[in-house]
Amino acid sequence: MNFRFQNLLGAPYRGGNVVISSNTVLLSPVGNRVAVTDLLKSETTTLPIQSSSNVTRIAVSADATFLLAVDDRNRCLFINLRRRALLHRITFKHRVTAAKFSPEGSLIAVAAGKLVQIWRSPAFRREYFPFELVRTFADFDAKVTSLDWSPDSKYLVAGSKDLTARILCLKKLNTGGVKKRPFLLLGHRDSVAGSFFGVNSKTNRVCKAYTVTRDCYLFSWGFTSDDDSGEGSEPPSPGTPERDVEENLEDSENDGVEKRKKISENGGVKKRKKTDIEDGDEGYLSRGKWELLRKDGFMQGSAKVTACDYHRGLDMVVVGFSNGVFGLYQMPDFVCIHLLSISREKITTAVFNELGNWLTFGCAKLGQLLVWEWRSESYILKQQGHYFDVNCVAYSPDSQLLATGADDNKVKVWTLSSGFCFVTFSEHTNAITALHFIPSNNVLLSASLDGTIRAWDLLRYRNFKTFTTPSPRQFVSLTADISGEVICAGTSDSFEVFVWSMKTGRLMDVLSGHEAPVHGLVFSPTNTVLASSSYDKTVRLWNVFDGKGAVETFPHTHDVLTVVYRPDGRQLACSTLDGQIHFWDPIDGLLMYTIEGSRDIAGGRLMTDRRSAANSTSGKFFTTLCYSADGSYILAGGSSRYICMYDVTDQVLLRRFQITHNLSLDGVLDIFNSKNMTEAGPLDLIDDDNSDIEEGVDKQTRGKLGLDLPGSMPNRGRPIIQTKSLRIAPTGRNFVAATTEGVLVYSVDESFIFDPTDLDINVTPEAVEEALRENQPSKALILSLRLNEDSFIKKCIFAVSPGDIPAVATSIPYKYIQRLVEALADLLENCPHLEFTLRWSQELCKAHGSSIQQNSRNLLPSLKSLQKAITRIHQDLADTCSSNEYMLRYLCSSGAKK
Amino acid sequence: MGEIQESKALAKSKPSTEQDVTDELDLRMKKYLRGEGANLEGLKDKKLKGQLAVKEDLYGKSAKAAAKAEKWLMPSEGGYLEAEGLEKTWRIKQEAIAREVDISSSGKQYDIILPELGPYTLDFTSSGRYMAVSGRKGHLGIVDMINLSLIREFQVRETVRDVAFLHNELFFVAAQKKYPYIYNREGTELHCLKEHGPVLRLQFLENHFLLASINKFGQLRYQDVTMGSMVGNFRTGLGRTNVMQVNPFNGVVSLGHSGGTVTMWKPTSASPLVKMLCHHGPVSALAFHSNGHLMATAGKDKKIKLWDLRKFEVLQTLPGHATTLDFSQKGLLACGNGSLIQVLRDVSGTQNYSKYMTHSMVKGYQIGKLVFRPYEDVLGIGHSMGWSSILIPGAGEPNFDSWVANPFETSKQRREKEIRSLLDKLPPETIMLDPSKIGTVKPRREKPTKQEREAEIEADVEAAKGKKLKKKTKGRNKPGKRVQKKQEAVARVKRPYLEQKIQEEESISRKKQKTREGVELPKSLQRFVRKKASS
């Protein structure tokens, strides 16, 4: 019963910015969570930490230890990325539009509204208020849009919507008593979409800056120091940034010189050296002049720049436009290397990785996330989720695959262990309403509102059979019998159940009798009885093969929403509109017991509700049910933020999962905050989003199927949290829920193991030898597995005495099982200690049998090699034994004759 | 503490004597006299002397009549803050002013706090009686400013960027998220102007009944609100802007752009009348004096400049940054930036503005729009938490002309005035930079036309051909000789005209060369010429 959140599928990206840390780890916001994708191992997981609303900005420190996530309501979470633990929280007063860690990691620059705030990073300190505000710059007139640090963490360049970019100095240079103002980089005609520092490759100092404006122009600014030129500077021309109190600057310089002389006269050698060092480094950008070197246009017609990034080492700029085109340019000569189109929707994020060879693009409207290597022009990652709600999910019989169908007419198949979608079927022309895996072979069935049932081959990835009716019907439920020969589907417009044969594809029967849409359809696991539920308050049992009509009818007092069989076939569970779950005995036709669940499932208050959540009747029923594999408990979900788990025998609520705390969705709160209620209604429903189709996306988006039509919904298409489908894996160790957030995966397995010995500096051959000498075989084996040296692994295996094999096998972490299985397979083939190795293999399978079974797809090569080794040894021994037996029989018979 | 004079009648009534009345009348008469009288003793001509004496007598009588009319018809007097000794006028706070004025004036100093639906922007009618207020999150309302009653308040629940009254308080326009909408006084939606698009700023040209708007794509549109026709539709080509102002002197619409230029437009021309480079950075605010010859601009390069619109030259450059500017009826200039307000005043009458009053918003409220209320010493402030009203002594015109703008008009008077305004409506063609050109005669060209010149040449040639030749001696009167002599005569007659034509061509080419060698840039851009660097 200890299910915990494990992963979020179905939506890899919805908006906000994307960050790549450690060169290969991709972090992207998904709803109010952050998804972590390892681009080398091709795995994606989701952090279990939830924000209070949709995450809009994330930032990662340079050493990939800390993650900063800011959401719609300006709340910030400070997360330890390695341990996935939430360390600190803070709330900014204004909307955060950019956030960046300094290169040395001790400071965080946050653009909050018109302000640029410098906070000290709390790191691992335990303090009452860990964030410390170091400096605030309030020079801007409009929202700050971009930030960039200099390599020495002393300067910032910030672009704003007031058509300026400013060079901010962190230290307060108060020489001569005159306060200095930041440099103004003027000349932009639209808001600044990106601003970056460029460095001199020899001295690693800032010598130039780039600003990209929204109207497709790139400005190159050059910096010249005052040390060389001195006198005789020209008067400022148009385009030269203005600098206030120019006369006072000269006076302050003279004062600085005088001070320096005094210090040198007074101090000794140490003081003089210290002063020289400080004078040399301090504020080198403040003594000089910035000027516009060149201005280049991207020539994209009426498109706008929506995303851009700059790589300092390669001196390259990547720009994403609102028409789906991206360009890669080599600076300082503005040479176009690539100009390609991804789609026709705007690119909302474009990021370089640390080395600069991979480009990451995100398209929020399509939910698309691409990682592209620009030198070899190949895709590293190409993921796109459903961009409408997921309607149904189905597990494969071995629990390795998950199929999802959504309102975007697509069926996607995901690998649960890696979290990736590896195939997408898009032949359907309307929303998918039901999915079913045939238990015996690799066939997936899907039902749709377009009037077809399609069968998909998961080996050849194609649609090999289509089932239709004489006149088109909208199918809303789907099932197949245990052998996969008979397929049944229920409709919502003609209230009939259609029966097809899988082999011939012909329509065999039409079951009539229901008077309302048939939304629940299930075959008995043990016999040929079909159960169907309908909105006409009845559940009917049919014998499909006899063709006699309804066998039995179970009446109810309210509409029946769904029906499921227990896996042993002796119990039937159905949910009704009054929030109850009824349990029937299908053999005797008796009502066994009833669970009253309307209080458990009660949803929150919607944004447009005029009544409180306790008085509202919407969302107080279950729309989806699922039995566990052993039939001991049942999961129930509906139009609510909860998933309820009930014990079937005792009819008690075991646990209630709240699937999200995202305040950007409707129905998450029971009681509203009165500060958000105004005379015009709730503040969130006021259409004050000033973003048009050309601008970049500041917040996360999701597709709204038909919700924008006039008069359709009064809450401006704000998604309402609900669970549409629930499935428990056949192994019983995890379940999935198709919700508004996406497909949530809950599991009892520990998907993340924090290994305290996972420290590279300690893993040495000497450490392995020392552990062996100290008679610690378990530690030695783990260390050798991490070293991945074959000789050491085998040596440690033999160091374990036969009596200790079970204990050592149990203590090995899961991630090393594959390597150990490979070593054992090799030993079986080459080593004479046969019984010892077989004993090892047996104990390993006993200790980690469930993990091996769950992840057999990954372990398949190792397991096959182990099986091959055992089979070959078995054959060799069998030949030897047969030969011995025949020889003995011959010798005995020949002795008897003589 | 300085002496404060408010726009109110004289409080004390002295016991009037004949001498006091005469002295007061003489003081008023001096304002209307045309200087000292002429000295007529030196004239010899008795007739001229008599005529001038009669004229001087008439001047005196008319000044006296004007002084009497002023005494009864203009009861209020304007006044300014005056500092004594070491005091400064900008140090005087609103609390100090509130202690010195009467109750009705101190009631015009208030803060309306509406924290949820802001920031707010506002607009006054031309009489100053009604105010339209709009919050960015869809809050719209009309307020009667005399008794501070709320006439109508409603919510549109979407972005509202600007609000403007039409010719009176019966109609106003709100620039909402996608289109501008026209509402009436009771809040009923009358029109949705879809052709304008997502409008950023709205202005109403009162004498021409034109609604001018600039939208997100930089398109300037003029619409006639009496007939609903779209008079002008221009693409500025200079990007989006929300800096827009109408010159009340001539009806020319001015736009401030992101490149630092200010353009001036009229509805019958697709190209701007004037395009002047005012600032290095984007123009952030724009304002016009009511006399039409003074313009104030503010830019992101932290300068406020005052321009003479007759010569298009900078009169004054002030340090500081402003996101909103407004001129009052008496010429005070209000600058708003962040949470600070500065009011500048022309003390000496030589277009030299200096600091007059300052005001700081409480709790750092961000100022969105500053509007002087007509005929009152009141400055309306639209800020991020509502709107405020502060007293600026000397800002408004103390005496209103009820034929022009009547704050106390009845509904019957409003209807009559509306009819008269419609009858006096000016066509869009009358909008030009110099409105005094209307009604003058175009000067006649003095140079003769090409046709006249050719006719003159033909006449001379005909006269030369008709001349009778003298009979020559033997051998000199052959037909070939006679034809040759005739041709020579024609050429002799044509020679002066050809020489004149050659001279004209030479002078034209010399003029062109001179022009090319001379000033490259127009006069308004000469201050930006880069001086040649000395070696």
Question: How do residues B324-370 score in pLDDT, each as one tens digit?
Answer: 999 999 899 999 988 889 899 887 777 789 889 989 887 788 899 89
Average pLDDT of span B391-399: 89
Q: Following DSSP, what letter does each residue of A248-285 receive, concatenated?
A: HHHHHHHHHHHHHHHHHHHS-HHHHHHHHHHHHHTTTT
Residues of A whose CB is below 8 A from B139: 679-680
Q: Say if CB B233 and CB B224 are below 8 A apart.
A: no
Helix boundaries (H) for A774-855: 777-787, 790-799, 805-811, 817-830, 834-847, 849-854
Give A453 or A860, the one with higher predicted confidence: A453
As beta bridge partners, residue A383 has A369
Mean pLDDT of A299-306: 84
In this predicted structure, what is the pLDDT of residue B7?
A: 40
Q: Is the pLDDT of residue A239 over 70?
A: no
CA distance A445 to chain B (A): 46
Q: What percent of chain A has pLDDT over 70?
A: 84
Q: How confident is the model at residue A762 (pLDDT cuts 50, 70, 90)?
A: low
Q: Is B369 on the interface with A (CB under 8 A)?
A: no
How confident is the prediction for chain B on average, in pLDDT? 83
A267-276, A522-531, A725-734, B422-431: least confidently modelled range: A267-276
Q: Do the beta carbons of residue A685 and residue A667 sit within 8 Å?
A: no
- The whole-number average pLDDT for the span A541-561 is 81
State the nearest Cα–Cα gap between A288 and chain B, in angstroms.
Answer: 19
Q: Answer left, alpha or beta for residue B523, where phi above 0 means left and psi between -120 and 50 means alpha.
A: alpha
Distances (CA, A) of A686 to A53, A205, A663: 17, 47, 16
Q: Write down how long chain B is.
A: 535
A145 Rama class: left (phi>0) / alpha (psi -120 to 50) / beta: alpha
Higher pLDDT residue, A623 or A550?
Answer: A623
Select the residue from B113, B116, B277 to test the A interface by mutation, using most A Cβ atoms within 10 A.
B116
pLDDT > 90: what percent of chain A? 14
Q: Is 90 exceeded by the pLDDT of residue B211? A: yes
Q: Is the peptide bond before A332 cis (omega within 30 degrees of 0)?
A: yes
Q: Which of A763-767, B93-97, B114-118 has the lowest mean pLDDT?
A: A763-767
In chain A, what residues touch B239 (CB-CB under 8 Å)?
189-190, 215
- For the ranges A205-209, A434-438, B486-490, the one whose mean pLDDT is highest: A434-438
A854 has a pLDDT exceeding 80: no
Fold observed for domain A469-555: Thrombin, subunit H (2.40.10)
Q: CB A186 to CB B301 under 8 A?
A: yes
Question: Can you give the pLDDT at residue A696?
Answer: 46
Question: Of A212, A240, A194, A328, which Cα lies nearest the Cα of B280?
Answer: A240
What's residue B526's pLDDT? 62
What is the structure's pLDDT at A309? 92
Is a pLDDT exceeding 60 seen at residue A754?
A: no
Give the number of beta-carbon pairs within 8 Å between A and B.
80
**pLDDT at position A287, please?**
58
- State residue A451's pLDDT score: 92
Residues 6+ apart with CB under 8 A from B345: B80, B331, B332, B333, B353, B354, B355, B356, B394
d(CA A45, CA A417): 9
The residue that leads in pLDDT, B23 or B314, is B314
A309, A328 in Cβ contact below 8 A?
A: no
Nearest to B533 among A163, A234, A679 (CB): A234
How far apart are alpha carbons B469 and B476 in whole angstroms?
A: 12
Q: Which of A722-726, A780-784, B326-330 has the lowest mean pLDDT?
A: A780-784
Q: Mean per-residue pLDDT for B304-317?
A: 89
CA atoms of A604 and B118, how far apart (whole Å): 29
Q: Are A392 and A411 in contact (CB under 8 A)?
A: no
Instruction: Determine whether the interchain pair B116/A692 forms a contact, defined as Cβ–Cβ distance below 8 Å.
Output: no
Mean pLDDT across the stretch A815-834?
80
Q: Kindly determine whether residue B281 and residue A685, on different chains, have CB atoms separated by under 8 Å.
A: no
Contact between A598 and A578 (Cβ < 8 Å):
yes
Q: Which of residues 206-225 of B touch A (CB under 8 A)?
A: 216
Q: Looking at residue B331, what is its pLDDT?
A: 92
Q: Provide the residue type at A776 as one letter.
A: Q
User: Does residue B58 register a pLDDT over 70?
Assistant: yes
Q: Report the C-alpha gap between A783 and A797 in whole angstroms.
A: 12
Q: pLDDT grade, residue A224 (50/70/90)?
A: confident
Interface subset of B 139-178, CB within 8 angstroms of A? 139, 155, 157-159, 177
Name which of A517, A456, A453, A515 is nearest A489 in CA terms.
A453
Q: What distance separates the 2 farthest-apart alpha carbons in chain A?
A: 130
For domain A564-680+717-746, the question of CATH label 1.10.569.10 is answered with no
pLDDT per position as a tens digit, A386-425: 867 788 989 888 787 899 999 888 899 998 888 888 888 9
The answer to whether the bond into A525 is cis (omega within 30° of 0) is no
Contact B282 A163 (CB under 8 A): yes
Q: What is the pLDDT of residue A130?
A: 85
- Return the residue of A nearest to B240 by Cα: A190
- Cβ neighbours of residue B115 closer than 8 Å, sequence gap 6 or more: B385, B386
With a cut of 60, say whether residue B115 has pLDDT above it: yes
Q: Name the segment(s) of chain A with CATH classification 2.130.10.10.
A: 564-680+717-746
Instruction: Return d(Cα B499, Cα A389) in angstroms, integer.
Output: 91
Average confidence (pLDDT) over B465-474: 71
Q: Which residue has the tokens 């999701």?
A: A702
Please give the structure tokens belonging to residue B250. Answer: 């001539």
Residue A699 is predicted with a pLDDT of 52
* Nearest residue on chain A to B160, alpha-carbon basis: A688
User: With an 8 Å Cβ cutoff, is B527 touching chain A?
Assistant: no
Least confident of A168-182, B157-171, B320-334: A168-182
Of the two residues A186 and B208, the one the predictor is more confident about is B208
pLDDT per residue over A245-300, tens digit each?
Answer: 333 333 333 333 433 443 333 343 333 333 333 444 445 666 577 878 888 898 88
B208-212 mean pLDDT: 94
The boundaries of every CATH 2.40.10 domain in chain A are 469-555
Q: Is the pLDDT of residue B4 over 50?
A: no
User: CB B281 to CB A190 under 8 A?
Assistant: no
Phi, psi for A288 (deg, rounded to 5): 170, -165
DSSP string, A719-731: PBP-EEEEEE-TT
The arithmetic mean of pLDDT across residues A451-472, rounded, is 88
Which domains are present in chain B?
112-433 (2.130.10.10)
Average pLDDT over residues B50-72: 84
**Mean of pLDDT values over A768-790:** 79
Q: Chain A 401-460, CB below 8 Å of chain B: which residues?
A: none
Are the beta carbons of B300 and A237 separated by less than 8 Å? Answer: no
Please report the pLDDT score of residue B13 as a whole number. 43
Q: Best residue in B219, B300, B528 to probe A by mutation, most A CBs within 10 Å?
A: B300
> What's the mean pLDDT when you consider all of chain A?
80
Q: Which residues of A touch B281 (CB under 8 A)?
A: 163-164, 184, 186-187, 242
Q: Do A237 and B159 touch (CB under 8 A)?
A: no
pLDDT reported for residue A803:
86
Closest CA to A49 of A109, A8, A98: A8
- Per-residue pLDDT at A649: 85
**pLDDT given for residue A281 in this prediction:** 45
Residues A76-107 pLDDT 10s: 999 988 777 888 888 887 879 899 899 878 89
User: Dihedral angle at the C-alpha atoms of B374, B380, B382, B387, nearest 10 degrees?
Assistant: -130
> To the nearest 5 percent, what fractions of chain A are helix, strand and coil?
20, 40, 45
Is the Cβ–Cβ distance between A147 and A193 less than 8 Å?
A: no
Contacts of B285 by beta carbon, 8 Å cutoff, 6+ apart: B243, B256, B296, B297, B298, B322, B323, B324, B325, B335
Q: Is residue B270 a contact partner of residue B292, using CB atoms and an 8 Å limit? A: no
Specify the amino acid at residue A93: K
pLDDT of residue A680: 80
Per-residue model confidence (pLDDT) at position A320? 94
Give yes or no for a contact between A529 and A586, defined as CB atoms under 8 angstroms apart: yes
